[in-house]
């Protein structure tokens, strides 16, 4: 099996790695970089547990060969907080008790962040539509939808730009 040298910027840190041709981005993040926020759920890109940001867009890391991510800027759930302080979205999830078992939470928080990058004032239908690729078996989504609304409201009240999500 062939190997490839790649460079990623993960949570603001440049990383050089040698990866196998069939090594998945999810496995590199979890097993090699010890960033366990992205979860292995279904392994076929259906559940969203492995969601990370590529720039400002959601990608399913269980579906992407690491070699294809060469040069990418990736943000995991761990990379959303700054200086030990939760991001606006993370804090809204805590405040609205939008977490139960926690398995889907990192992917849902990443998806919520991507939504607010794209649309800082989404309505409930837009939030639900954005969540369609992320499955949660515990919460019924209501608290998560409220968390996104709260995060959007806080961003607007503070006059924050999306760099502060």
- Give 20-52 pLDDT, tens digit per residue: 999 999 999 999 999 999 999 988 888 999 999
Residue 58 sits in the same domain as residue 7: yes
Q: How far apart (Å, rounded) are the C-alpha atoms in residues 59 and 48?
A: 9
Assigned domain for 59 exists: yes
Q: Do residue 12 and residue 70 come from a single domain?
A: yes
Domain boundary at 16, 51, 78, which? 78
pLDDT tier at 143 (50, 70, 90 boundaries)? Answer: very high
Please tell me the least confidently modeled range out of 119-123, 138-142, 144-148.
138-142
Distance in angstroms (rounded) separating the CA atoms of residues 38 and 107:
7
Structure confidence at residue 162 (pLDDT):
61
Residue 164 lies in a domain: no
Q: CA 163, CA 10: separation in Å to the nearest integer?
A: 16
Output the 3-class SS for 81-146.
CECCECCHHHHHHHHCCCCCCCCCHHHHHHHHHHHHHHCCCCCHHHHHHHHHHCCCCCCCCHHHHH
- pLDDT of the residue at 161: 66
Together in a domain, 74 and 7: yes
Rounded to the nearest integer, the mean pLDDT of the chain is 93
| Domain co-membership, 94 together with 152 | yes
CATH number (domain holding residue 146): 1.10.150.120
Which of 6-10, 16-20, 99-103, 120-124 is least confident? 99-103
Query: Quick check: is 154 in a domain?
Result: yes
- Cβ atoms < 10 Å from Cβ of 38: 25
**SS3 assignment, position 21:** coil
Rg (the chain; Cα; Å) = 16
The residue ranking higher by pLDDT, 103 or 9, is 9
Residues 139-154: what's their mean pLDDT? Answer: 92
Query: In total, how many domains does the chain have?
Result: 2
* Co-location of 21 and 46 in the same domain: yes
User: Residue 16: beta bridge partners?
Assistant: 7
Say if residues 74 and 52 touch (Cβ distance below 8 Å). yes
Please tell me whether residues 106 and 62 are part of one structural domain. no
- How much is the pTM? 0.92
d(CA 61, CA 2): 21
Residue 153 within a domain: yes
In a domain, 165, yes or no: no
Query: Is residue 83 domain-resident?
Result: no
Query: Are 110 and 74 within one domain?
Result: no
Domain that holds residue 33: 3-78
Please give the share of the chain, as a percent, with pLDDT higher than 70. Answer: 97
pLDDT tier at 93, thresholds 50, 70, 90: very high
pLDDT average, residue stretch 92-100: 92
In this structure, the answer to whether residues 68 and 105 fall within a common structural domain is no
Residues 51 and 102 in one domain: no
**136 pLDDT band (50/70/90 cuts)?**
confident
With 0-12 CB in 10 A as exposed, 13-18 as middle and 19+ as buried, what is 93?
buried
**pLDDT for residue 165 is more than 80:** no
Vertex 58, ends 126 and 136: CA angle to 5°?
65
């Amino acid at each position: 099996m062939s190997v490839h040298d790649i460079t990623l910027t993960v949570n603001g840190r440049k990383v050089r790695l040698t990866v196998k041709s069939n090594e998945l981005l999810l496995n590199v993040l979890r097993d090699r970089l010890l960033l366990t926020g992205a979860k292995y759920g279904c392994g076929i890109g259906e559940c969203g547990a492995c969601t990370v940001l590529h720039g400002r867009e959601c990608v399913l890391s269980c579906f992407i060969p690491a070699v294809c991510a060469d040069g990418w800027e990736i943000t995991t759930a761990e990379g959303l907080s700054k200086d030990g302080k939760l991001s606006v979205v993370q804090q809204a999830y805590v405040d609205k008790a939008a977490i139960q078992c926690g398995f889907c939470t990192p992917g849902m928080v990443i998806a919520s962040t991507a939504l607010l990058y794209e649309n800082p004032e989404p309505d409930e239908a837009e939030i639900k539509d954005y969540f369609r690729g992320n499955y949660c078996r515990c919460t019924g989504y209501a608290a998560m939808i409220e968390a996104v609304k709260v995060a959007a409201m806080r961003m607007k009240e503070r006059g924050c730009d999306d760099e502060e999500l």
